[in-house]
Structure 1
Amino acid sequence: MKYGRKVHTKSVLADGKVLVTGGCCSAAGNSTELYDPSTGRWTTIGNLNYVRQFHTASLLPNGKVLVTGGTNNVVVLNSAELYDPSTRSWTTTGNIDNARKLHTTSVLTNGKVLVAGGENETALLKSAQLYDPSTGKWTTTGNMKYARAFHTESVLFDGNVLVTGGAPFQVECLNNADVHDPSTSRWTTTENLNNARLLHITSLLTDGKISVTDGEKSHVGPLKTVELYDPSTGRWTTTGNLNSARQLHTASLLPDGKVLVTGGTNNVVVLNTAELYDPSTRNWTTTGKMKYARLLHTASVLSDGKVLVTGGNGNTVILNSAELYDPSTRSWTTTGNMNYARLFHTASVLFDGTVLVTGGNNSTEILNSAELYDPSIGNWITAGNPNNARMSHAT
């Protein structure tokens, strides 16, 4: 990518390209870039209207990308913006009622976007809001029972939304979960997880269950435990442990139903290892190692089934490198470097198969740049910058 960035977001567009927005910590803070998988190149596109990081980015059914909240390192933002792939430009849309960062977003089956939790300058939030793309407006919906940040949000097969774990740093993390029913706008609690955790990752499996991997437990450090949530019973069960405890990693659902976990840290070193979870056996096996150890990176499943890993923090430097994992050979190969090193960024697979990487930071500044990876050529091209630099946003 052209700009280094971290805590940015990435979204896969309808054309298959990937949009990357914002992040920290350079002049790239409001920049956006498009990655074209067909060429493997990134291109810069129009800037966000506001520099931001710790925001979210969501691909809407109409092909546009909605970016919400985050921070510009001065104030927490309540602004939202829309990216139009046809014009490669950003426009502002309705503001969120409550400014927030470190929140989560989900695109519901009805096309609306649910924003939940996060924090502002003074408090942790349990409020939730809905964005309607047809009107560009936000409405409040029921509050979660527990305020939370650093949590996860997953849309279930029945259209309900599961919010899991989280907590503010330096405070005991949560072992509870809330379920939102869009038809009633109400939240209900589920049975508690076996382990309280934050900075974990959830994956929707092909059987409709949710897997929760790793993360951190208060005063304990990274976990290697894995749990499964069954929506039909509302209960959690433990499953096979990972071979390595880790946090700040990625988890990707592959076309064959397996889950690929990459990188992260065990709080001693940054990891280059990867593991595969097989739902049929409930076991984890190690697979090929990445060339570069990394954490706070992104992982995107491409249309050909391969997985693109971008950026992140190595043991000593922020990375602009990208690698591809081939499930058929269980091996990694390097591909074109991004124009900018970044972490805390986002990556989105577009409808055309390209990958859009946005925002993040490079340790000195929040980025507004975005890049596109084209798998067909293995190169990156820069895309229009978001209007606001941002990092730690979501996709």
Structure 2
Amino acid sequence: MEHLVNSRVKDIEISGIRKFFNMVANSPNLISLTIGQPDFPTPEHVKEAGSRAIADNFTTYTHNAGFLELRKAACEFVQQKYGLTYDFEQEVIVTVGASQAIDIAFRTILEEDVEVILPGPVYPGYEPIIKMCGAKPVYVDTRENGFRLTAELVEPFINENTRCIVLPYPSNPTGVTLSEQEILELANLLKDKPIWILSDEIYSELVYAGTHQSIAKWLREKTIVINGLSKSHSMTGWRIGFLFASAFLTAHMLKVHQYSVSCTSSISQKAAFEALTTGFNDADYMRKQYKKRRDYVYKRLTEMGLEVEKPTGAFYMFPSIKKFGKTSFDFALDLVNQAGVAVVPGSAFSKYGEGYVRLSYAYSLETLEKGLDRLERYIKTISK
């Protein structure tokens, strides 16, 4: 019966991040620096709000887009934090994490043979959905530009088939962000073109200098903003994402959302409301801790002689391992076997990630120190 399975589904693979993590998960005494999951617990007041929702029997369907008070809180959050203005009744959808927001956005705007421009390397969650829509991912090599997708790099790739450009900043896997000037240049390039922008801003609260800038401030009508609480409030398992866009577009995306999940978990929605209101600045403490970790990891990696861009957001580093003459997969697997440390092969982030590995510093300083000590010893053995 397998021949009856959708051929597009058969052609896609499990994320390289998860594939490698699952492959090495049972290795003895392993220190894993692979998964981008905050090591902080969900704030107590948020957990209590979830418990109250159960006790209060807030356990039925909500409005398909999410209960109204939460949508209002989400719009107020992005307005006060980033200067983005959306109508809470018509221009925001509460989704099952940012991943579902990406899915319904692509399924609404893409169709057969259109093209989506992506920076390479990039988070692997976009390409499979693009392909399942019958569209074509087009990668732009950003390696020589500090991993930043700028107007100068994008322009040669735009043609009559271009339907969407993905701006995933702060970036997974590199941790880089775009400057306001770079965003303005992109906005000027795209303002008169019939092209959507999908701006994945899930790491917006984890920016280490200044405040997060969204291209939606300048190109609101054609920008779809993706956000959520997984990274900002350490709520990965609660599965709360947000999709912001103009009313005419959210009306269509809501149809896709409705037939996909009906609505997001009502209990998680109550917890999310608490996170966005009482917990408006909950990310501040975590961001300060991540910054300390970033500085520590960057110092250690550069002292090991590894070339790496210093992240300005998120909680990843993407050092080059080209000089060792190994593929990123072989390097990562050998690192597990020889040193008991797991990182993610750069090849998981498109072919433009080959020659790099991704290291997550969403771990305690103690864990990072132990892992980096092992990495340093391993590098010394292969550098002889």
TM-score bracket, normalised by the shorter chain, equals under 0.3
Which one has a bigger Cα radius of gyration?
2
Give the TM-score, by structure 1 length. 0.25
Per the normalisation by structure 2, the TM-score is 0.26
Higher strand share: 1
